Amino acid sequence: MEDLFGGNIEEKEDSSRFFADVIIPVPIPKMFTYKIPKNFRDEIGIGFRVIVQFGKKKVLTGVIAKVHQKPPAAYEAKPILDLLDNHATVNPLQIRFWAWMAEYYCCNIGDVMNAALPSGLKLSSESKIQVNPTFDQDTSPYPLDDREETLLQALANKGELSYEDCESVLGIKSIHPIIKSLVIKEAILVFEQVKEKYSPKVESRIRLSKAFFTDKKKLEKLFHELSSKPKQEEVLLKYLQEVPVYRQPELNSRGLEKSVFSEAGLSASSLKTLIKNGVLEEYKLIISRFQEAAPSKEEITLSEYQEKALVKIKEELQEKNTLLLHGITGSGKTEIYITLIKEALASGSQVLMLLPEIALTTHMVGRLRQVFGSSMGVYHSKYSDNERVEVWNGVLSGKLSFVLGVRSSIFLPFDSLGLVIVDEEHESSFKQFDPAPRFQARDAAIMLAWLHQAKTILGSATPSFESFYNARTQKYGYVALDRRYGEAQLPEYILSDILVDKKKNLLKLDFTRLLRESIQEALKNQEQVLIFQNRRGYSPYISCEDCGWIPECEHCDVSLTYHQFNEEMRCHYCGFKEKVPKTCPACGSNKLSAVGLGTERIEESLSLLFPEARVARMDLDTTRSKFGYQRLLEEFGSGNVDILVGTQMITKGLDFDRVTVVGVMDADRILFFPDFRAGERAFQQITQVAGRAGRREKKGKVIIQTRKPEQQIFHQIIQGDYKNFYLQEMGDRQRFFYPPFVKIIKIVTRHKDYKVAERAARNLHHLMEDIPVKKILLGPEKGLIGKIKNQFIFETIAKLDKSGNAPAQFKQAINELINELQSHKDFRSVRFLIDVDPY
Ligand SMILES: Nc1ncnc2c1ncn2[C@@H]1O[C@H](COP(=O)(O)OP(=O)(O)OP(=O)(O)O)[C@@H](O)[C@H]1O
Ligand SMILES: [Zn+2]
């Protein structure tokens, strides 16, 4: 940088130069050393955010990992351009955690930083800027200078500006100090992608106009006039009844939510007239997600069994750091967590509770909010970036000592965790597949807890085999809770043979007679039904009855899924879509038929079979909008829906009173999936969805449709015989070298040219054979899906001996091999991905 920081003067002071190692959010496997300008030297420290130049033009936010006096040997250190904080935004424990994650999951610490920090905390030349909707210049305590005002004006006109736009608006080169200042003044928000743009929730409210509010006489006169207009009078009376402004004048400024009037059945046009005549006024209030909510007083009393489990948990945690709470569906694990969280908070520790994305419902949030009020933060991926920044800062300032969140909440700036809870720990969505870091949030949470010397509780009705294995080998503590709370009993299971019904002509629209009759019965009793099929869309594919042609994605090696709703064929891997062909492009036949079962088709069949029932569907396609999932749950909860069809979204955590029948449409599909965990997953998914039935007095019924009812797994599910199922599967895993007996690392090679991808994968494979650790290498093989988004995919699977440091050695070696290969000109554009524990 020119002489922004008085470069000339610094030259003379060589001996007192200081340097900082900075983590920057780029996929490069190291930190960069920058020079600390003299004017920052006393203020800067580990975990502070700084603005640095990277490459020729880029400006990035980095985080300081280390301050020292050693200049880099290979390059001339550039100066840090600016300091964004006057305190650490990231604490040293987090930096250790990031470093651990980068090493364990074979990625760059910059990738971890990128995943960890919300984009609002990462100002860069790629950032976009918007006005903070809650900013009000008239009431803001911070005056703006001319340039800031110009920029704000431009933002107000344009809606958003890129970093470069900001530079050209003001005609200057280094825009970051101005942006930084506006962020501090809370006038603007920084974001990364357009979809993140923050629009706050606004509520329309009504209050009494000043003239009437301050002058009682005037109001009396008004009532006199309104006596001939009873509807308007009614509206005004309602307001004064809800907001007694004469007894408590301070209440008027907040007024009353507008919807209160319509909900009370009062005339909307009268309200409008009163506003027009200046009696009432309407204003907009921005609703924060972080409303002050006071905990409610209500105390929970644990049942005898819950109490026993609690005592045992505490006992076990005296010795063990991690504990598996194996409590059947509906056993009341949540209430046990609540008691433990309360105790941890009372002792001054922080608490983190992780839930899978789709289990983080209003219901769960509401339940915990009742107990913990606004000292609890909620961290959800559907929240805007700005809301995530608020939670981050809440944890940093100590305002939020308890966070309930999805997998990314492990990155929040906790500094004294005492307890970490991972609920539904078996859930596969704790694993992040793309992009790097490809971490398993449950495993990472255990590491995080260890760094804090905190305890971890893993909870599930159907534990993952890894966790159960760790419990059986005494690495984890173990507490079982095998009784449902209250009077509720486990449901009755019935296997329904699809082939038998088919032969007898009893199969109608893919429903066996038993399932149809059970649904009918439930409907008659005004009970609710869940139908589970883990496949969205109408049908997995369509096919020509004459020549067998199947439409495929142009960019991926998969067939297109038929979505009847908008008459489209869609690729579930890259989003490619096209209209459904009228005739077969291969042979011209017009006999194209839908093959297989998706949720859309089941929804349609249900409407045909039960025309009087209200049917709804819950899958990725119906829950894309921010509140889509929530709305469906509310509809179902309030009884507006009789039958809910869904993918694995309906298997998690739902706790509704009136569900008595659960149908599993096609259990074989889950069971015969080509993956070593198919059995484990089938056990988990079927048990979990079954667990939604009969959670109150009335016993539930679960009907499993299958073509192979003799399969042993079904009988183990029915008997709740997790242990024997586990033992049997573990025998196979040991014989065929699968986790938890070995460590698996998957190495993926991708390139747009098939030959190049294959050759690179082969080369790497050969090189890996020479890594001197005990291992089995499988591959390289075309991926299960051979091409995604025009990139051909080859995979090698390494199975490593878990003992000793074989995995660590292997990881280090592959990183080096990949670097070596990539320096070869043929392979420069090949992408190699390493996925540690890829399941
Ligand atoms: N001590 C208690 N007092 C009152 N109600 C309770 C108590 N314990 C549990 N419940 C109620 O029992 C039901 C089941 O509890 P909860 O949802 O915590 O089960 P769970 O173990 O999480 O089940 P799942 O694994 O199926 O989600 C809930 O409606 C809950 O409110
Ligand atoms: Zn595709």
Determine whether the shortest distance from the Cβ of 327 to ligand 1 is under 6 A. Answer: yes
Greatest mean pLDDT among 177-191, 282-296, 745-759 lies in: 745-759
Q: Rounded to a whole number, what is the distance in angstroms from the first to the last CA of the chain?
A: 47
Determine whether the shortest distance from the Cβ of 333 to ligand 1 is under 6 A. Answer: yes
CATH topology of domain 7-121: GIY-YIG endonuclease (3.40.1440)
- What is the atom index within ligand 1 of the atom nearest the CA of 459? 25
- What is the atom index within ligand 1 of the atom nearest the CA of 329? 26
Q: Which of 364, 357, 315, 359 is nearest to 335 (CA)?
A: 364
What percentage of the chain carries pLDDT values higher than 90?
51
CATH topology of domain 304-481: Rossmann fold (3.40.50)
CB 283 within 8 A of CB 309: no
CB 130 within 8 A of CB 123: no
Is the pTM value of this prediction over 0.80? yes
The H or E element containing residue 183 is helix 176-184
Region 742-836: CATH code: 3.30.70.260
Determine whether the shortest distance from the Cβ of 646 to ligand 1 is under 6 A. Answer: no
Name the phi and psi angles at 329, rounded to 5.
Answer: -60, 135
170-185 b/e (C-beta count within 10 Å ≥ 16 → b): beeeebbebbbbbbeb
How far apart (Å, rounded) are the C-alpha atoms in residues 266 and 228? 16
- What is the atom index within ligand 1 of the atom nearest the CA of 367? 31
Q: Tokens standing for 31?
A: 């930190």
Please tell me which residue, 389 or 412, carries the higher pLDDT value.
412
Determine whether the shortest distance from the Cβ of 651 to ligand 1 is under 6 A. Answer: no
How far apart (Å, rounded) are the C-alpha atoms in residues 36 and 46? 13
CB 649 within 8 A of CB 619: yes
pLDDT band at 198 (very low <50, low <70, confident <90, very high): low
Q: Tokens standing for 832?
A: 């190699």
pLDDT greater than 50 at residue 9: no
- Identify the bridge partners of residue 189 per DSSP, sorted by sequence position: 130
CB 665 within 8 A of CB 705: yes
Name the residue of 306, 654, 655 to mutate for ligand 1: max ligand atoms within 8 A of Cβ. Answer: 655
How far apart (Å, rounded) are the C-alpha atoms in residues 409 and 354? 7
Q: How many beta carbons lie within 10 A of that of residue 164, not counting itself?
A: 12
What is the bridge-based pairing of β-strands 402-405 and 350-354?
A: parallel
Mean pLDDT to the nearest integer, 266-291: 81
Three-state SS across 340-398?
A: HHHHHHHCCCEEEEECCHHHCCHHHHHHHHHHHHHHEEEECCCCCHHHHHHHHHHHHHC
CB 791 within 8 A of CB 756: no
561 CA → ligand 2 middle, Å = 10
The H or E element containing residue 828 is none
What percentage of the chain carries pLDDT values higher than 70?
95
Q: What is the DSSP letter of 450?
A: H
Q: Which of 799, 839, 536 is nearest to 675 (CA)?
A: 839
What is the bridge-based pairing of β-strands 32-35 and 568-570?
A: unpaired
pLDDT tens profile 585-622: 889 888 888 888 899 999 999 999 999 999 999 998 88
Q: How many beta carbons lie within 10 A of that of residue 133, not counting itself?
A: 14
pLDDT greater than 90 at residue 326: yes
Q: What is the DSSP letter of 630?
A: H
Binding residues for Zn(2+): 544, 547, 553, 556, 571, 574, 584, 587
Name the residue of 485, 659, 687 to mutate for ligand 1: max ligand atoms within 8 A of Cβ. Answer: 485
Nearest CA to ligand 1 atom 27: 653
Mean pLDDT to the nearest integer, 203-215: 83
**pLDDT score of 200:** 60
CA distances from 668 to 38, 534, 562, 603, 673 (A): 68, 11, 21, 20, 9
Name the residue of 301, 335, 458 to mutate for ligand 1: max ligand atoms within 8 A of Cβ. Answer: 335
pLDDT greater than 50 at residue 11: no
pLDDT tens profile 74-85: 888 999 999 988
Describe the crossing of helices 754-769 and 806-822 by its angle, rounded to 10 degrees: 140
Which residues make Cβ contacts (< 8 Å) with residue 131, sequence separation at least 6?
152, 155, 156, 187, 188, 189
**pLDDT score of 338:** 96
pLDDT greater than 70 at residue 566: yes
What is the bridge-based pairing of β-strands 701-706 and 659-664?
A: parallel
Domain 487-534+598-623+632-740 has CATH 3.40.50.620: no
Q: Which ligand is nearest to the CA of 423?
A: 1
Describe the crossing of helices 678-690 and 722-735 by its angle, rounded to 10 degrees: 160
pLDDT tens profile 121-160: 998 888 888 888 878 887 788 888 999 999 999 988 888 8
* Continuous H helices in 398-440: none
**pLDDT score of 292:** 56
pLDDT tens profile 35-51: 999 888 888 899 999 99
Mean pLDDT, the chain, whole residue set:
88
CB 835 within 8 A of CB 750: no
577 CA → ligand 2 middle, Å = 8
pLDDT tens profile 625-660: 777 888 888 889 888 999 999 998 888 767 888 999
pLDDT band at 499 (very low <50, low <70, confident <90, very high): very high
Place of tokens 């997790």: 722
User: Is 682 strand, coil or helix?
Assistant: helix
How far apart (Å, rounded) are the C-alpha atoms in residues 613 and 528? 10
How far apart (Å, rounded) are the C-alpha atoms in residues 322 and 638? 38
Q: Which ligand is nearest to the CA of 696?
A: 1
695 CA → ligand 1 middle, Å = 9
755 CA → ligand 2 middle, Å = 20
Q: Which ligand is nearest to the CA of 460?
A: 1
Q: Which ligand is nearest to the CA of 328?
A: 1
CB 804 within 8 A of CB 827: no
pLDDT greater than 70 at residue 6: no
Binding residues: 544, 547, 553, 556, 571, 574, 584, 587
pLDDT tens profile 431-476: 999 899 999 999 999 999 999 999 999 999 999 999 999 999 999 9
Nearest CA to ligand 1 atom 11: 332
In 668-790, the DSSP E strands lie at 701-706, 742-751, 775-788
Long-range contacts of 253-260 (CB under 8 A, 24+ apart): 253/207, 254/205, 254/207, 254/285, 255/205, 255/206, 255/207, 255/208, 255/283, 256/205, 256/206, 256/207, 257/203, 257/204, 257/205, 257/206, 258/203, 258/204, 258/205, 258/206, 258/282, 259/204
590 CA → ligand 2 middle, Å = 25
Please tell me which residue, 788 or 674, carries the higher pLDDT value.
788
Determine whether the shortest distance from the Cβ of 33 to ligand 1 is under 6 A. Answer: no
Burial of 2 (0-12, 13-18, 19+ CB in 10 A): exposed
**pLDDT score of 48:** 95
Which residues make Cβ contacts (< 8 Å) with residue 665, sequence separation at least 6?
510, 531, 532, 533, 597, 602, 705
Q: Tokens standing for 789?
A: 């988004």
pLDDT greater than 50 at residue 3: no
